[in-house]
Structure formats: structure tokens, C-alpha cells
Amino acid sequence: MRLVIRVRPGAAREAVGGVYGDEAIVVKVNAPAVDGRATEAALRAVAVAFGVRRSDIRLVSGATSRDKVVEITGNDQELTERAVALRMA
């Protein structure tokens, strides 16, 4: 499944949930937006939020942008249900 996320680096607490714009799930991370640290922290946070391994998540686009597209490997029905719940959080 592909998912659009909006990364907010430098947050006080890491959290995944809520919506930015029409469809992007908000991912707040402690890491600064330097040398890809915020991107890697966001991918780890998404893995935890979806209950998958970090290796099951691949960055498709947006390496240097706050808006990113990620691909998550796993059971599509479970991933879709989790995405809906995170959007409402």
C-alpha cells in the first residue's frame, strides 16, 4: 500500500496521527531535518504505528520534502484499517 505522509521534524514528542491537507498522515519526529535524519525517524515511526518492520517500509518519493510517499508491505486490509484509524487520531 502507498501512503502520503507529512513529516514535522523537531517535535517535542514523536507521534503518528491526524491529517494534513486532504490525505497526508502527520508524522511528528524529534529528529532535525538534517542529513535525512528526520526522514529516517519518520519511516521508523510509521513502521511502529503500522506494526510492521522498518524493512517493510520503502520511501517512494520526497526524500528532501516534508511531504513523502511511502510504500508499506503487508496485509492490505489491516494496513488500510490502520491508516483510517491514524487519520482520525
- Looking up cell 484509524 gives 85
| Terminal-to-terminal C-alpha distance of the chain | 20
Taking only the tens place, the pLDDT of each residue in 14-33 is 999 999 998 999 999 999 99
Residue 89's pLDDT is what? 83
Pick the CATH number of 2-88 from 3.40.50.300, 3.30.1200.10, 3.40.50.150, 3.30.300.130: 3.30.1200.10
Taking only the tens place, the pLDDT of each residue in 59-76 is 999 999 999 999 999 999
Phi, psi of 21 (to 5 degrees): 70, -140
